Amino acid sequence: MLQRPRRNRKSEVIRQMVRETHLSASNLIFPLFIIEGKRQKTEIASMPGIYRYSIDNLLREVESCLNLGLNSFDLFPNIDDSLKDKYATESYKEESLYLRAIKEVKQNFPEACVITDVAMDPYSSDGHDGIVENGHILNDETLEVLGKMALAHAQHGADIIAPSDMMDGRVGYIREVLDENNFTNVSIMSYSAKYASAFYGPFRDALNSAPKFGDKKTYQMDPANQTEALIEAELDEAEGADFLMVKPALSYLDVIKVIKDNTNLPVAAYNVSGEYAMIKAAVQNGWLNEQKAITEVLTSIRRAGATAILTYHAKEVLVNKWL
Ligand code: PBG
């Protein structure tokens, strides 16, 4: 045999020499859940090890992450049902939980990168990402709400705005609102290819944000489609996105790869709540080795072409020095 690929695997030194994919803290973004109150830290039943924090504890959590070299955070609010309405007005009210959280984090830790989620669902009495009328999700009317929300996030210090709603035209609309208000430096990380996935279940438990009727299939993508993801990616790029995101990650590694091959923008991937829950459940049953499973998953997402990974594993891989 002239070729023996095993020669390049014969020692740890050589394996490291030929390794194609590397993971580091700088690639990781840690999603954090926020609740109202003081000294609150409540675990999410379907996401062992992940908590909802009141703002005081959120600041402690951010500080401990920064000390580990984990510098990027994506914030999500759990809003009391009494504050939800059809138009998600709580999302841009001065002094709302979310806006206070953004401001506090940036005031206390200006060096942290704060990514904010733009979508109506945590604040919507319908539990949808858009305005609902007669059972339909309105697109263009929703853009106005998203624009107000994005502007409020920018005014409170957001570094990157991440629209996760999947309305058509929202990246361009948000870019225009930001620019008109002199927030030309605030970035947009677009959830470009976001699929109507079963893997968001635990997240909706965390935020109590599940749709009150129907599903999200008229705006989130059909899991059967890959080419369509390129239409979404091209539109977002043309509309001014700074990052293109694929979500979920694991069942969509091919989508990460095809978008990566067709753009010069950095690609992000969201290793979602259900993907986290599956690993934790198997580990709790003694069916998987935690460290090996998690590092393999994160490496595969990087290998597929994601520069940045949003993952609930971000902190534990650093605490345990698994990278
Ligand atoms: C809502 C939103 C969702 C997630 C992030 N933003 C859920 C949904 O679309 O229903 C899911 C994240 C996760 O599952 O970890 N706009």
CA nearest ligand 1 atom 5, residue = 164
Q: Read off the pLDDT of residues 167-206 as tens digits, 9 standing for 90 and up.
A: 999 999 999 999 999 999 999 999 999 999 999 999 999 9
Distance (angstroms) between ligand 1 centre and the Cα of 264 equals 26
CATH of span 22-319:
3.20.20.70
- Going by C-beta distance under 8 Å and a sequence separation of 6 or more, which residues neighbour residue 6? none
Domain positions in the chain are 22-319
Q: Read off the pLDDT of residues 269-294 as tens digits, 9 standing for 90 and up.
A: 999 999 999 999 999 999 999 999 99
| pLDDT the model gives residue 29 | 98
CA nearest ligand 1 atom 6, residue = 164
Which of the 8 DSSP states describes residue 221?
Answer: B
- Tell me if 267 CB under 6 Å of ligand 1: no
Candidate from 78, 117, 164, 246 with most ligand 1 atoms within 8 A of CB, to mutate: 164
Q: Catalytic residue at 93?
A: no
Q: Read off the pLDDT of residues 237-256 as tens digits, 9 standing for 90 and up.
A: 999 999 999 999 999 999 99
C-beta separation of 165 from 219 below 8 A: yes
Q: Catalytic residue at 106?
A: no
Q: Read off the pLDDT of residues 51-104 as tens digits, 9 standing for 90 and up.
A: 999 999 999 999 999 999 999 999 999 999 999 999 999 999 999 999 999 999
User: Rounded to whole angstroms, what are the CA distances from 278 to 1, 35, 132?
Assistant: 42, 25, 32
Identify the active-site residue in 84, 194, 260, 315: 194
pLDDT band at 262 (very low <50, low <70, confident <90, very high): very high
C-beta separation of 156 from 111 below 8 A: no
- Going by C-beta distance under 8 Å and a sequence separation of 6 or more, which residues neighbour residue 44? 33, 50, 51, 52, 202, 205, 206
CA nearest ligand 1 atom 3, residue = 200
| pLDDT the model gives residue 158 | 98
13 Rama sector, left if φ>0, alpha if ψ -120 to 50, beta otherwise = alpha
User: Rounded to whole angstroms, what are the CA distances from 149 to 16, 131, 154, 164?
Assistant: 46, 14, 9, 12
pLDDT band at 223 (very low <50, low <70, confident <90, very high): very high
| pLDDT the model gives residue 258 | 98
Question: Whole-angstrom Cα distance, residue 111 to residue 210?
Answer: 33
Q: Read off the pLDDT of residues 107-128 as tens digits, 9 standing for 90 and up.
A: 999 999 999 999 999 999 999 9
Distance (angstroms) between ligand 1 centre and the Cα of 7 equals 44
CA nearest ligand 1 atom 10, residue = 200
- Tell me if 119 CB under 6 Å of ligand 1: yes
Distance (angstroms) between ligand 1 centre and the Cα of 40 equals 22
Question: Whole-angstrom Cα distance, residue 235 to residue 66?
Answer: 34
Q: Read off the pLDDT of residues 293-316 as tens digits, 9 standing for 90 and up.
A: 999 999 999 999 999 999 999 999
| pLDDT the model gives residue 253 | 98
- Tell me if 117 CB under 6 Å of ligand 1: yes
